[in-house]
């Protein structure tokens, strides 16, 4: 009698031997997995690319801080020659400038003439 109940339970529509839905479900699962894997790789590579961009933001901020330090030194009464030596200020046809470099990123900050 117990064997008959098991046969009725497993022969229900849940465990039917019809395999009509197996192929579309398999294709759907493979498609979802492919989209998930592509999304993971996209986030991984974009995060690596963004790390370089954040470095450049830090360099620009460092250049602005150096400009504020130069202004502070001028208000303390340092001469132009002393400030030029301390901060490594260069001059060309466009005027005075200093360069801040980190890795492959360089920022040129113009101080004017």
Taking 80 as the threshold, does the pLDDT of residue 55 lie above it?
Answer: no
7-50 per-position pLDDT tens digit: 555 555 555 565 666 888 889 999 999 999 999 999 888 777 66
pTM for the complete prediction?
0.50
- Count CB-CB contacts under 10 A for residue 84: 16
Residue 94 is predicted with a pLDDT of 83
> Closest Cα partner for 89 from 100, 81, 98, 78?
98
Supply the mean pLDDT for the chain: 80
6: tokens are: 């098991």
User: Would you say 87 and 69 are in contact if contact means Cβ atoms under 8 Å apart?
Assistant: yes
User: Would you say 47 and 30 are in contact if contact means Cβ atoms under 8 Å apart?
Assistant: no
- 112 or 2, higher pLDDT: 112
Domain ranges of the chain: 18-112
């Amino acid at each position: 009698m117990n064997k008959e109940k098991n046969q009725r339970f497993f022969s229900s529509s849940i465990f039917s031997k019809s395999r009509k839905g197996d192929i579309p479900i398999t294709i759907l699962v493979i498609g979802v997995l492919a989209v998930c894997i592509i999304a993971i790789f996209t986030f991984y590579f974009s995060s690596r690319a963004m790390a370089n961009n954040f470095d450049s933001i830090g360099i620009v901020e460092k250049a602005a801080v150096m400009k504020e330090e130069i202004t502070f030194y001028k208000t303390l009464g340092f001469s132009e020659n002393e400030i030029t030596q301390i901060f490594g200020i260069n001059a060309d046809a466009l005027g005075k400038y200093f360069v801040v470099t980190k890795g492959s990123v360089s920022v040129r900050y113009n101080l004017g003439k």
